Amino acid sequence: MFKKILLSTVLCVFFAGAAHAASGGIAWDKAPSRTNDMAALQRGAQLFTNYCLNCHSAAYMRYNRMTDIGLNEKQIQENLNFITDKPGDLMQATIAPAEAKAWFGANPPDLSVIARSRAGANGSGSDYLYTFLRSYYRDSNTLTGWNNAAYPAVAMPNPLWQLQGEQAMLTKEVESHGHTSEVFTGFKQVTAGSLNEAQFDNAIGDLVAYLQWMGEPAQNARVRLGVWVMLFLSIFTIVAWRLNAAFWKDIK
């Protein structure tokens, strides 16, 4: 357990800022919509607690709120809570803030609303996270040995490299207006991870779905309630229209 926590601590530094991401990097891919898929949210919650929560907090979320995605408190305690927190406690990072600042230069940001805060001109916050987490590649010119095509010169190393493996970024030279520049063309797998490309993309889709759900846990209930409200208003409009016609039928 200690080795697992230590590994995740070394891997997680902090998520990229939206302003920088919007100004550079590759186009964002569309994230799959899975906030209504309880199984996907549960898998995403498992990835989040295993690979993110050791460095990043979700200080506006309590463990027992995950009962909304079909888990009971026993499952949460046994499978998603690796420290001594109680089900009603907030999801705090295991790393000490002072140590994080000493190691990384700044505290890793809270991820409670990360999917809502990273929206930009290229798409939603979920699109950004889905692209970002799949766009790491090896770069010997950086201090961490990692870089990211969605966020060039990112400070956080790849937290999911064991699942994804290692890939290299492919580019080609393009000449325009007398200037030559390198244009991103894709990635090449260098070493395999424990998941193949399709499996890894699916796992990231689950993780991003959980991050999106965590940013607004009541969003699905709000949408369902909104449908019923609109249905009621539609029926009421018809009733009111017929009543109005009945009241004024003898008045010309």
**Phi/psi of residue 124, nearest 5 degrees:** -80, 170
Q: Residue 240: is its pLDDT beyond 60?
A: yes
Contact 233, 137 (CB under 8 A): no
**Residue showing tokens 């009621």:** 232
pLDDT band (50, 70, 90) for residue 1: very low
Question: What's the pLDDT score for residue 222?
Answer: 87
As a whole number, the mean pLDDT across the chain is: 85
Of the candidates 126, 50, 122, 124, the one whose C-alpha atom is nearest the C-alpha of residue 91 is 50
Residue 134 lies in a domain: yes
Question: CA-based diameter of the chain, in Å?
Answer: 87
Beta strands in 66-151 (DSSP E): 90-91, 136-138, 146-148
Specify the pTM. Answer: 0.80
Cα(129)–Cα(34) distance, rounded to whole angstroms? 14
Per residue in 140-155, pLDDT (tens digit) is 998 889 999 999 988 8
Count structural domains, the chain: 1
Per residue in 18-32, pLDDT (tens digit) is 334 444 679 999 999
- Please give the average per-residue pLDDT across 110-129, as a whole number: 92
Residue 225 lies in a domain: no
Cα(149)–Cα(160) distance, rounded to whole angstroms? 15
pLDDT band (50, 70, 90) for residue 219: confident
pLDDT band (50, 70, 90) for residue 64: very high
Question: What's the pLDDT score for residue 104?
Answer: 67
Dihedral angle computed from the Cα positions of residues 245, 247, 251 and 252, in that order, rounded to the nearest 10 degrees: -20
Q: Residue 56: is its pLDDT beyond 60?
A: yes
Cα(161)–Cα(136) distance, rounded to whole angstroms? 8
Lookup: tokens for 35? 């906030």
**Residue showing tokens 């201090």:** 143
Name beta bridge partners: 151.
none
CATH number at residue 192: 1.10.760.10
Of the candidates 124, 126, 129, the one whose C-alpha atom is nearest the C-alpha of residue 213 is 126
Residue 98 lies in a domain: yes
Residue 152 lies in a domain: yes
Q: Which domain holds residue 49?
A: 2-217
Residue 146 lies in a domain: yes
Question: What's the pLDDT score for residue 252?
Answer: 62
Residue 188 lies in a domain: yes
Per residue in 178-203, pLDDT (tens digit) is 788 788 889 999 999 999 999 999 99
Q: Residue 213: is its pLDDT beyond 50?
A: yes
- Lowest average pLDDT, out of 8-22, 79-93, 234-248, goes to 8-22
Residue 228 lies in a domain: no
Residue 241 lies in a domain: no
Question: What's the pLDDT score for residue 128?
Answer: 96
Higher-pLDDT residue of 39 and 87 is 39
